[in-house]
Amino acid sequence: MKNLLKAAVCAVLVCAMAFALAACGGNEPAPAETKDYDVIDIAKSVSENVSFEDEYLTAVADIAFELNRDEIALDSVAEENGAKQAAVYVSGAYPEMIFAIKAVDANAADQVMKAIEKILDNYEKNYTNYGPEQVSKITSAVKVIKGQYVFVIVSNDNAAAQTYLNGLLG
Amino acid sequence: METRAKKFTAAQLALVIAFCAAIAAVFVLLLVLPKHAGELSPLEFRTLAELPFAGKSAQKLSDELVRGELSDNVDSFLEDHFPGRSFFIALNSYYLRLTGRNTNQPVIWGREGRLYDAPLPAHSEQFDKNRQKLFEFAEANGLETYIVDIPASALAIADKLPAVHPDYYDGDYVKALAESGFTYVPDLAALYKAQPDPDALYYLTDHHWTMQGAYVCYADLCEKLGAEPVPESAFEREGYEFFGSFYRESGLWLTKPDTLEIWRSPVLDEVTTAIGWGERATVHKGVYDEEKLKEGEVDKYAAYLWSNNALTVIENPNGSGETVMLVKDSYGNSIAPLLAMNYSRIVMLDTRYYTSTMPLPSELIAEYGIEKLIVTFGTESMITDSGLAFLR
């Protein structure tokens, strides 16, 4: 009986340790994907099918300026037929946005995500004092790195946005 | 043979029972007390953490578990809903204060109920970028440029600082701006110190200048802008109880409230304030959001011009006929109503919220024939805000 108890306690401790290690695992990038996505189409689809408080969420036309302003290195973004493979939607009234970017490789995707996380941090700082009800949208943002692809969504319903994005990415 | 089992004394047993009972009581209270997940905390002015499991699929939860986010979310929820949280925050703050500490970052506790911002860094790369950006934008558009960098209250009201405190460098940034070739950069700290009651120019519990502080700057600015400042006597003042950002961060819940003033004038009643642009613009009458002045509203400073918005256009049908551009952070919200007494139109940009899909500021300058640019930034925005990149 005593040995059984000891074994049970050990098992519980091992499980706890496994969970703790998993919790310390950090935001590891997913292994490289071979699947190809059209980031422009995905961003458009998200803008039309996910709930945003801002009904005027708009695609940025001058993508080079936007990426530069966001401190996303232009040479880290893939280019096809002379066009950068990136779509950014922003709101002028709420901290809502969509980033869908094809980076040149998985390492570049990590750098792109770091730059976007900096933007989210700035938004969180600005809204903490002057619109705290918006902060939870930012802190629960959908952030996905899939190989060389980066997707970030800040919406009115990030859980639904995550499900919708998962469906698009397959 | 000596026995290994040691008997507990009654006192030891009582201590163990009391300890376990305390933990059990906290656990039970945590379970039974009403939860305010996702609601705004009126004392801390922030949204309390959501239930970590609510509305999430098993897939999402397992992803969060692997990334370590689930445990962070559980921690946040437990911290925000810990029984007696506000009491324990205050207990910590008052304990620190009573034991001689004069700061609970980022707030410094001064004398006579005055709270101060912790100092900003002495150097900032973003400041150099912003100064350059403002200069280039003014040059490219042929603008007279008036830069008001509002320093921390510690510079103007130094006598209430604790005897031992870190150094403030806000004055160095103002000096650097003054030497950069702009039309006018006031030394606001010096201007404020020369006033009969500098204490009235900043809130006790908030980082902003008061309406009186904004007025002193407005009167000084008008002289340089070639405008006639409207005398203080032309306004009717209303006072509202107000607890500001320092209060929320300090944990000193027994601090007395400030009075936030609303300066009214029949001229301002005729003014219209358009927030947003194009088809999305919302037009309001006047310059104050009366809803934010109601009893129970936490952030009454948001009453000035409906708080911070990326693009606001204020129009005064009785103005001078001139349009000016005001690039601002939240400090600008209380000086803009005063400027609106003089000018026919103020095109107001908050670059912290500006986006690439909004009209180019240079297009707005051309559209409205703007010749004067006024910038009102707290030093913190001046050295951290990257949104000035939108000035193009």
Instruction: Please tell me the predicted confidence (pLDDT) of residue A26.
Output: 43
Task: Please identify among residues 87-126 of chain A the ones whose CB lies closer than 8 Å to any CB of chain B.
Answer: 88, 90-93, 122, 126
CA neighbor of A77 nearest in space, from A104, A117, A99: A104
The predicted complex's ipTM stands at 0.80
- Could you identify the residue written with the tokens 């500001």? B244
Residue B288, both tokens:
């104050």
Residue B199, both tokens:
């204490």
Say how many CB pairs under 8 Å bridge A and B: 87
Instruction: Please tell me the predicted confidence (pLDDT) of residue A151.
Output: 97
Instruction: Please tell me the predicted confidence (pLDDT) of residue B48.
Output: 87
CA neighbor of B190 nearest in space, from B179, B174, B205, B206: B174
Task: Please tell me what DSSP assigns to residue B57.
Answer: -
Q: Using CB atoms, which residue from A69, A88, A133 is nearest to B40?
A: A133
CA neighbor of B175 nearest in space, from B199, B155, B200: B155
- Integer Cα distance of B350 and B152 in angstroms: 20
Chain A interface test: which of B299, B357, B358, B380 (most A C-beta within 10 Å): B357
Neighbours of B17 (CB within 10 A): 10
- Residue A51 contacts B, CB cutoff 8 Å: no
Per-residue confidence band for A150, with pLDDT thresholds at 50, 70 and 90: very high
CB B185 within 8 A of CB B177: yes
Per-residue confidence band for A31, with pLDDT thresholds at 50, 70 and 90: low
Q: Name the pairing type of β-strands A97-102 and A86-90.
A: antiparallel
Chain B interface test: which of A121, A130, A139 (most B C-beta within 10 Å): A130
Sequence-ordered list of residues with C-beta below 8 angstroms from that of B215, at least 6 positions apart, any chain: B232, B263, B338
- Integer Cα distance of B215 and A130 in angstroms: 23
Sequence-ordered list of residues with C-beta below 8 angstroms from that of B364, at least 6 positions apart, any chain: B325, B347, B370
Neighbours of B43 (CB within 10 A): 15
Per-residue confidence band for A88, with pLDDT thresholds at 50, 70 and 90: very high
CB B51 within 8 A of CB B78: no
CA neighbor of A88 nearest in space, from A110, A123, A59, A52: A59
Sheet holding B272-275, edge to edge: B144-150, B372-378, B323-328, B345-349, B311-315, B272-275, B282-285
**Amino acid residing at B333:** N
Q: Using CB atoms, which residue from A25, A90, A163 is nearest to B355?
A: A90
Instruction: Please tell me the predicted confidence (pLDDT) of residue B315.
Output: 98
- Residue B51 contacts A, CB cutoff 8 Å: no
- Integer Cα distance of B298 and B243 in angstroms: 7
Assess whether pLDDT exceeds 60 at residue A50. yes
- Residue B36 contacts A, CB cutoff 8 Å: no
Mean per-residue pLDDT, A143-166: 94
- Integer Cα distance of B241 and B292 in angstroms: 12
- Could you identify the residue written with the tokens 């994005």? A165
Residue B214, both tokens:
């904004």
Neighbours of A170 (CB within 10 A): 7
Mean per-residue pLDDT, A114-131: 90
When mean pLDDT is compared over A5-19, A148-162, B45-59, the highest value belongs to A148-162
Instruction: Please tell me the predicted confidence (pLDDT) of residue B70.
Output: 87
Residue B33, both tokens:
């007390």
Assess whether pLDDT exceeds 70 at residue A21. no
**Amino acid residing at A91:** S
Asked if omega into B106 is within 30° of 0 (cis), the reply is yes
Radius of gyration of chain B measured on its C-alpha atoms: 26
Q: Which of A88-97, A159-168, B34-43, B364-373 has the lowest mean pLDDT?
A: B34-43
Q: How far is CA B277 from the centre of its chain?
A: 24
Instruction: Give the global pTM.
Output: 0.86
Residue ranges per domain, chain B?
31-83, 115-390
Residue of A nearest to B358 (CA): A92
pLDDT less than 70: residues of chain B = 1-6
- Are A93 and B55 inside 8 Å of each other by CB? no
Percent of chain A residues past pLDDT 70, beyond the cut: 80
Instruction: Please tell me the predicted confidence (pLDDT) of residue A129.
Output: 79
Q: How far is CA B324 from the centre of its chain?
A: 24
C-alpha distance from residue B337 to each of B222, B272, B314 (Å): 13, 11, 9
Return phi, psi of residue A32, to 5°. -55, 140
C-alpha distance from residue B39 to each of A130, A134, B46, B47, B80 (Å): 15, 11, 8, 5, 11
- Could you identify the residue written with the tokens 């006639």? B228
- Condensed to tens digits (0 to 9), the pLDDT of residues B38-77 reads 888 888 888 888 888 887 778 778 877 887 888 988 999 9
Q: Using CB atoms within 10 A of its CB, is residue A3 exposed (0-12), middle (13-18) or buried (19+)?
A: exposed
Sequence-ordered list of residues with C-beta below 8 angstroms from that of A160, at least 6 positions apart, any chain: A50, A51
- Integer Cα distance of A147 and A33 in angstroms: 5
- Are B356 and A62 inside 8 Å of each other by CB? yes
- Condensed to tens digits (0 to 9), the pLDDT of residues B352-390 reads 999 999 999 999 999 999 999 999 999 999 999 999 999
